[in-house]
């Protein structure tokens, strides 16, 4: 008798993908057999990187980390709950860094539960060394000439430097 695979989806804008995101991908893969890393279009957030650039960057990072056999990077535009049902996932992985994240994440989890009753939301914290880290902080540090090389993978740092030096 074969056991059903535990499949989760980890959505985000990933603008840019950080070491905190990588920590959550790793933690998600410790709990689930497969993980979809879903890059949201999120044009309303006025991202630094285009939708296609973000998808490609996350794909490269997932491959460099050696996760590509169990983590699949996809893009999406629309309701996460619909995508989660379409992909037949059992859980949505969301990251929590601080108490300030909880209220927004809790509201989203409740709405996703209303839209997709059988899909659980699992809150994970990144490794302690990345709890303070966000894409917004990385971009802010980069725009002001700070060193981001310890905050993001090398290929991401190079892409950010290229974007901010224009």
Catalytic residue positions, numbered? 21, 45, 97, 135
Closest-CA residue to 28 (of 58, 67, 63, 74): 67
* 8 within 8 A of 92, measured Cβ to Cβ: yes
SS3 string, 37-75, reads EEEECCHHHCCCCCHHHHHHHHHHHHHHCCCCCCEEEEE
């Amino acid at each position: 008798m074969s056991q059903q695979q535990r499949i989760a989806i980890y959505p985000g804008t990933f603008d840019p993908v950080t070491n905190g995101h990588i920590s959550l991908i790793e933690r998600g893969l410790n709990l689930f057999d497969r993980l979809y890393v879903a890059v949201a279009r999120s044009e309303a957030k006025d991202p630094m990187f285009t939708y296609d650039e973000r998808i490609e960057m996350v794909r490269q990072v997932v491959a460099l980390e050696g996760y590509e056999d169990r983590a699949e990077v996809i893009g999406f535009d629309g309701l996460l709950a619909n995508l989660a049902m379409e992909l037949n996932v059992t859980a949505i992985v969301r990251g929590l860094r601080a108490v300030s994240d909880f209220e927004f994440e809790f509201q989203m989890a409740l709405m996703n539960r209303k839209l997709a009753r059988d899909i659980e939301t699992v809150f994970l914290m990144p490794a302690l060394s990345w709890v303070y880290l966000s894409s917004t902080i990385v971009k802010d540090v980069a725009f002001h000439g700070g060193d981001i090389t310890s905050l993001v993978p090398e290929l991401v740092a190079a892409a950010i430097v290229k974007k901010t030096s224009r």
